[in-house]
Structure 1
Amino acid sequence: MDLSRRNLLLSVAAATALPKVAMADIPIEITWDDLIPPGVPYSEIISEGVMDERNDIWQPVFDSNATKLNPTLDGAYIKMPGFIIPIDISTSGVTSFVLVPYVGACLHVPPPPPNQLVFVTTQTPWPSDNLWDAVWVTGLMQHELQSTEVAETGYTLRADDMEVYVW
């Protein structure tokens, strides 16, 4: 009888844990506004800038709000849309990139603030012939301020899945 009670308890424990495991695979769909912490208006992130005449680029000057990150997203499994600015690209595709909120961000205009940029790595390369398409990226997000070739980023994302964003 002791053995069957043990099996019953183990079965109940496994059954209660199962929904938590299944729910962990369902990403939270977020937007770019969600990257800014609650209570920080976007208008307070961007300030003046200076022209780097030597390199012919505009260097924005951000205040401290630009590096404030949403604490609920650190360690969250998310899905978000954006555009790809490639960092590591080969004939098989892109394996690391900066996810940006709009086409041309970081390339033709001053970059958005760090809390509006996500550095993404993926094991499965994204085809290099689809670089202008908006994409959905799903994966584990972390807080990590870092400098890339194109801009300062506030978040990192290890992508498990990517697909073309359909309007």
Structure 2
Amino acid sequence: MLLPVGCSQQPDPSADRLAPDSRAEARNNDDNLAAHQQAETLEWDDLIPPDWQPEPLMCNVDVDNLSDDDPRALELMDKLRAEWSEAPMVGDLDDRRVRLPGFVVPVEINASAITKFLLVPYFGACIHVPPPPPNQIVFVKTADGRPYRGGIFDTVWVTGRMRVTSYSSELGEAGYRIDEPLIRPYKVP
């Protein structure tokens, strides 16, 4: 349904290796790499219950021929927002160690890094209206002292403990959270 471009390919495990600064950090990186590789890999469709299908709202609507101020477009947008606000989560994902590819949408940035972000399935999500439904947004808070030093809209792998819980921001409503995140650049072999 909603997948980041190119994220259906498996990443090259050797691309996940980082140059260690010390032996302790090297051991930590090896442990993190092992945890990253052993986590259950999810696709964005895995976050949507199979019986939830909002697409029928779009049937019989020629969105290409609607302007933003067309009353039919405004009515459709209201229906989408109502349907998406009720989007169910997949409860079985709670407390599972997972890894998920996606795009970084910063929620909180300090002077040099991102400390909180939304992981989303496609480039530009949460910037355009409407944002994806909550079952297509994952909240990530970096570990203390380990902020994400990448850029806005980077494509990444996030590995950690999945929680089915909501998080609200002005950019969108997340239905999931990943705890203890390990954030790696997404690399295509």
CA distance in 2, matches of 1:87, 1:126: 12
* Equivalent residue in structure 1 for 2:141, among 118, 121, 134: 121
CA 40–67 in structure 1, closer or farther in 2 if over 3 Å, else same = closer
Give the aligned CA root-mean-square deviation in angstroms: 2.9
* Equivalent residue in structure 2 for 1:74, among 90, 94, 106: 94
Amino acid in the other structure paired with 2:47: L
Q: Which has the higher strand share?
A: 1
**Larger gyration radius, structure 1 or structure 2:** 1
1:164 alignment partner in structure 2 = 185
SS of 1:39's equivalent?
coil
Q: Aligned-pair distance for 1:92?
A: 3.0
SS of 1:112's equivalent?
coil
Structure 2 unaligned segments of length 5 or more: list them: 1-34, 62-67, 70-76
CA distance in 2, matches of 1:148, 1:104: 16
* Equivalent residue in structure 1 for 2:121, among 91, 94, 101: 101
Percent of paired sites with the same residue: 39
Q: Aligned-pair distance for 1:89?
A: 0.5
Amino acid in the other structure paired with 2:161: L
TM-score (norm 1): 0.70
Query: Where does 1:80-91 land on structure 2 (aligned, <5 Å)?
Result: 80-91=100-111
TM-score (norm 2): 0.63
Larger RCO: 1 or 2 (CA < 8 Å, sep 6+)? 2
CA 46–113 in structure 1, closer or farther in 2 if over 3 Å, else same = farther
SS of 1:63's equivalent?
helix
Q: Aligned-pair distance for 1:40?
A: 2.4
Q: Deviations over 1:48-96 (max 9, x none)?
A: 9xx79xxxxx664232784211122111110000011101101231111
Query: Where does 1:5-20 land on structure 2 (aligned, <5 Å)?
Result: none
CA 164–66 in structure 1, closer or farther in 2 if over 3 Å, else same = farther
2:130 alignment partner in structure 1 = 110
> Does the 8 Å CA contact 2:109/2:116 hold for their aligned counterparts?
yes
1:20 alignment partner in structure 2 = none
Structure 1 unaligned segments of length 5 or more: list them: 1-24, 53-57
